[in-house]
C-alpha cells in the first residue's frame, strides 16, 4: 500500500469548501486506483485561528508540517483581517520557509469553459507558466525614509541571484523537456532593465546548453502579453520572474476562460521539504458558505500534487474525470452553470468510479 501523508490547510472562506471537496475526491480516487491511501490531517489555521490566538499559525507551524509528503492549501484572506497579516502570516512563510522556489501554473481551456479569445478552443491554449517564487521583485527588500515628509522615499529592490535564476531556469527547461513540444519561452525585460534581467538572459543561454533537445526563445514581457492574446498556439512552457509571472498568469487564466479553475503548485524541486498545492482563486467571502464554490481548481491542483508524489496514473484519472464532468456541462455559476459544489464533486467521484480505462 502506498500511503501519503497530506497536510490540509483549508484556511479561509471557500478554501474550506473546496479542500473538503478535494479531500473527498482523493479518497475515492485512492479506492479506485487501489493500493493507494491518503492520510489527510486537517489544520485549522487561518483567519479564525488568528482572531482567537493572534497568529495565523502556531510558532512551530513549519515544524508541524515538515513530516508531511505534501500540503493541500485552500485560500487565505478575510474581510476583517488585513491582507498583509493573512498572507505574511501563513502562505508566504510556508513558501519561503520550505524554499518552494518553483511556482508552477498550468493553464488550458477546460472543456465546457469558453475562452474570451475568438476562435480559440480547447487544445489551442495549453501552457505552463513557471514563476520564480523565492526572490526577484518580491524579495521584501526595501524600505522607507522620511515617512510622511515631502521628501519621503520608498525603495523596493529586486534581487536576482545566480543561484536563484539558475535553479528556476533548470527547472523550467526540465519541465519543457517533459512536455511533448519541448519548447520554452524565457520572459524578461532586458531591454530596459540592464542588470538582473540581462543576467537572466545569459543564464538561460548557459542552462540551454544542457538541454539540446529543448527549443527555446526569448520575449520581453510587454510583447509577451500581445503574443499570448494574438498567438496562443505559439507558446508552451514559459518561465518568468516573480512579478512578471504573477501578472502573466492572471492574463493566462483569463484567456483560458476563468481564473476560478486555475491551480498552482509551490514546489521544492529538491524535495527537502513538502511542496504546497493550492487553487489560485482566493477565499471569495462573497460566495462563502453558499455551497456554490467551484471545486475544479482544487481538483486540478490535487492532480498536480499526485504528479509530484509520483502517482501519474491517479493524476491523469482525476483530470480525465474533471474534464468529463465539465464537458457534460456540470459547472458552477462562476463558469456559467447552475451546479453546486456538491453536485460537481459527486459527478467527479462518479466519473472516477465509473471509468474503466
Ligand atoms: C498569486 C496571488 C498572490 C501573489 C498574492 C495574493 C500576493 O496573486 O498567487 O498570484 O501574487 O503571489
Ligand atoms: Mg497573483
131 and 233: one domain?
Answer: yes
Using an 8 Å Cβ cutoff, are 126 and 164 in contact?
no
Cα of 249 to ligand 1 centre, how many Å? 10
pLDDT in tens, 243-292: 999 999 999 999 999 988 999 999 999 999 999 999 999 999 999 999 99
137 and 94: one domain?
Answer: no
176 and 66: one domain?
Answer: no
Ligand 1, atom 3, lies closest to the CA of 246
As for ligand 1, residues whose beta carbon falls within 6 Å of it are 87, 246, 280
Alpha carbons 94 and 274: distance in angstroms, whole number:
9
Residue 343 lies in a domain: yes
Residue 277 lies in a domain: no
330 is written with which cell numbers? 456540470
pLDDT of residue 355: 61
Cα of 248 to ligand 2 centre, how many Å? 9
Residue 276 lies in a domain: no
Residue 138 lies in a domain: yes
Cα of 250 to ligand 2 centre, how many Å? 6
Alpha carbons 261 and 283: distance in angstroms, whole number:
14
For residue 9, what are the CA distances in angstroms to 16, 20, 134?
A: 8, 10, 21
Cα of 288 to ligand 2 centre, how many Å? 21
Question: Atom of ligand 1 at shortest distance to CA of 249?
Answer: 10
Residue 278 lies in a domain: no
- Going by C-alpha positions, the residue among 321, 324, 329 that lies closest to residue 352 is 321
207 and 295: one domain?
Answer: no
Question: Atom of ligand 1 at shortest distance to CA of 282?
Answer: 6
Ligand 1, atom 10, lies closest to the CA of 246
Question: Atom of ligand 1 at shortest distance to CA of 77?
Answer: 6
- Going by C-alpha positions, the residue among 295, 334, 337 that lies closest to residue 318 is 295
Helix (H, G, I), strand (E, B) or coil at 106: strand
pLDDT of residue 115: 95
pLDDT in tens, 291-303: 999 999 999 999 9
142 and 247: one domain?
Answer: yes
94 and 131: one domain?
Answer: no
pLDDT in tens, 191-234: 999 999 999 999 999 999 999 999 999 999 999 999 999 999 99
- Phi, psi angle pair for 102, to nearest 5°: -105, 115
Ligand 1, atom 7, lies closest to the CA of 87
176 and 220: one domain?
Answer: yes
Structural domain that includes position 182: 126-255
Cα of 247 to ligand 2 centre, how many Å? 6
Residue 153 banded pLDDT, cuts 50, 70, 90: very high
Buried b (16+ CB within 10 A) or exposed e, 150-183: eeeeeeeebebeeebbebbbbbbbbbbeeeeebb
Residues with Cβ–ion distance below 5 A, ligand 2: 246
Using an 8 Å Cβ cutoff, are 93 and 104 in contact?
no
98 and 11: one domain?
Answer: yes
Give the pTM.
Answer: 0.96
Residue 71 lies in a domain: yes
pLDDT at 356 exceeding the cut of 80: no
Cα of 349 to ligand 1 centre, how many Å? 30
Ligand 1, atom 12, lies closest to the CA of 246
Question: Atom of ligand 1 at shortest distance to CA of 103?
Answer: 9
pLDDT in tens, 94-140: 999 999 999 999 999 999 999 999 999 999 999 999 999 999 999 98
Mark which of 255, 274, 307 sits at the end of a domain.
Answer: 255
86 and 179: one domain?
Answer: no
Number of H helices, E strands in the chain: 12, 12
Alpha carbons 177 and 219: distance in angstroms, whole number:
19
97 and 130: one domain?
Answer: no
- Going by C-alpha positions, the residue among 35, 19, 9 that lies closest to residue 311 is 35
Cα of 329 to ligand 1 centre, how many Å? 29
Residue 274 lies in a domain: no
Q: How far apart are the first and last CA of the chain?
A: 21
In the chain, how many domains are there?
2
Question: Atom of ligand 1 at shortest distance to CA of 138?
Answer: 12
Test site for ligand 1: of 246, 248, 254, 282, most ligand atoms within 8 A of the Cβ: 246
Angle between helices 14-33 and 312-327 (to 10 degrees): 120
Using an 8 Å Cβ cutoff, are 250 and 259 in contact?
yes
pLDDT in tens, 97-110: 999 999 999 999 99
Residue 261 lies in a domain: no
Mark which of 233, 255, 277 sits at the end of a domain.
Answer: 255
173 and 231: one domain?
Answer: yes
Residue with cell 493541500: 72
155: domain CATH number is 3.40.718.10
Cα of 276 to ligand 2 centre, how many Å? 16
Number of Cα atoms under 13 Å in the Cβ half of residue 42: 13
- The DSSP bridge pattern shows strands 2-11 and 126-132 to be unpaired
Q: What sign for the dihedral angle of Cα 76, 264, 138, 126? A: negative
pLDDT of residue 341: 98
143 and 197: one domain?
Answer: yes
Ligand 1, atom 4, lies closest to the CA of 246
In the chain, the largest separation of any two C-alpha atoms, in whole Å, equals 70
Amino acid at each position: 500500500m502506498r500511503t501519503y501523508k497530506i497536510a490540509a490547510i483549508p484556511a479561509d472562506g471557500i478554501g474550506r469548501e473546496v479542500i473538503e471537496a478535494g479531500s473527498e475526491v482523493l479518497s475515492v480516487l485512492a479506492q479506485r486506483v487501489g493500493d493507494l491511501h491518503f492520510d489527510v490531517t486537517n489544520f485549522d489555521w487561518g483567519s479564525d485561528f488568528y482572531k482567537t490566538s493572534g497568529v495565523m499559525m502556531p510558532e512551530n507551524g513549519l515544524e508541524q508540517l515538515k513530516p508531511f509528503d505534501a500540503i493541500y492549501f485552500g485560500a487565505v484572506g478575510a474581510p476583517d483581517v488585513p491582507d498583509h497579516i493573512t498572507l505574511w502570516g501563513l502562505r508566504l512563510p510556508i513558501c519561503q520557509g520550505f524554499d518552494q522556489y518553483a511556482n508552477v501554473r498550468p493553464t488550458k481551456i477546460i472543456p465546457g469553459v469558453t475562452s474570451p479569445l475568438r476562435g480559440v478552443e480547447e487544445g489551442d491554449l495549453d501552457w505552463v507558466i513557471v514563476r520564480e517564487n523565492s526572490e526577484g521583485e518580491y524579495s521584501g527588500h526595501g524600505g522607507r525614509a522620511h515617512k510622511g515628509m515631502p521628501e519621503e522615499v520608498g525603495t523596493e529592490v529586486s534581487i536576482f541571484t545566480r543561484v536563484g535564476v539558475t535553479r528556476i531556469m533548470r527547472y523550467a527547461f526540465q519541465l519543457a523537456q517533459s512536455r511533448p513540444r519541448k519548447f520554452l519561452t524565457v520572459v524578461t525585460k532586458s531591454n530596459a532593465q540592464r542588470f538582473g534581467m540581462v543576467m537572466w538572459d545569459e543564464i538561460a543561454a548557459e542552462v540551454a546548453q544542457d538541454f539540446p533537445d529543448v527549443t527555446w526563445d526569448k520575449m520581453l514581457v510587454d510583447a509577451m502579453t500581445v503574443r499570448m492574446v494574438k498567438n496562443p498556439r505559439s507558446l508552451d512552457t514559459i518561465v518568468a520572474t516573480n512579478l512578471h509571472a504573477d501578472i502573466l498568469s492572471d492574463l493566462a487564466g483569463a484567456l483560458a476562460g476563468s481564473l476560478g479553475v486555475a491551480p498552482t503548485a509551490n514546489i521544492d524541486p529538491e524535495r527537502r521539504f513538502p511542496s504546497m498545492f493550492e487553487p489560485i482563486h482566493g477565499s471569495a467571502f462573497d460566495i462563502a458558505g453558499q455551497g456554490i464554490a467551484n471545486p475544479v481548481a482544487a481538483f486540478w491542483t490535487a492532480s498536480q500534487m499526485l504528479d509530484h508524489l509520483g502517482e501519474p496514473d491517479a493524476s491523469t484519472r482525476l483530470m480525465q474525470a474533471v474534464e468529463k464532468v465539465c464537458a457534460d456541462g456540470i459547472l458552477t455559476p462562476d463558469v456559467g452553470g447552475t451546479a453546486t459544489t456538491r453536485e460537481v464533486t459527486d459527478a467527479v467521484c462518479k466519473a472516477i468510479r465509473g471509468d474503466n480505462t
